[in-house]
Amino acid sequence: MTDVAANGAGDNAPSFQIQRIFLKDMSLEQPNAPEILLVQAEPKLEVQIDIQASKLDTDFFHVTLIGTVTTRIEEKVLFLVEAHQSGIFEMRNMPDDQIDPMLGIACPTILFPYLRSNIADLISRAGFQPIHLAEINFHSLYEQRLAQSSAAPSESDSGIILPN
């Protein structure tokens, strides 16, 4: 028997568990193919990451990390990939002031390797060199967003401060 169980504190101790990680949605568009595939120029890459979070019930949260990769040649889109990597996370007995950081930092950090892998795989299967997204410091992004929201109050009613 552990000390926590012996003291009876285990029932009220905060806990965080991953219930499920899944690919919610993924799309690939090549709007200017096949003509653009013959253009010999250096493609320009743009990556956007967004986070959405919602409460499923008292202890369960749904977090989605959205990645959009757009590659252009001479201002025309070569390909565009959008992926929604989701997870269901259980947070029991978590203090209210710790839930937002968990949703804005911990959950996206867990989901990001799956998102990165799925995006690289789809791009490769489409016939292009895979793009491996660079690591993202979700803690730093969360702190920046927190600072921005304290300077200019947001109209969001979710209370979750997440990076754009």
- C-alpha angle 108-119-33 in degrees, rounded to nearest 5: 145
Task: Evaluate whether the domain defined by 20-129 bears CATH number 3.10.420.10.
Answer: yes
Query: Which has the closest alpha carbon to 91: 58, 124, 118, 113?
Result: 58
Among 3-17, 45-59, 87-101, 123-137, the range scoring the smallest mean pLDDT is 3-17
Q: Which residues pair with 65 in a beta bridge?
A: 51, 85
Question: Could you report the per-residue pLDDT of 8-30, keeping only the tens digit for each?
Answer: 456 789 999 999 999 999 999 99
Question: Could you report the per-residue pLDDT of 57-105, keeping only the tens digit for each?
Answer: 999 999 999 999 999 999 999 999 999 999 999 999 999 999 999 999 9
Q: Report the predicted TM-score, pTM, of the whole model to 2 decimal places.
A: 0.82
**Mean pLDDT, the chain, as a whole number?**
88
Spatial contact of 83 and 91, defined as CB atoms under 8 Å apart: no
CA contacts within 13 A on the Cβ side of 95: 3
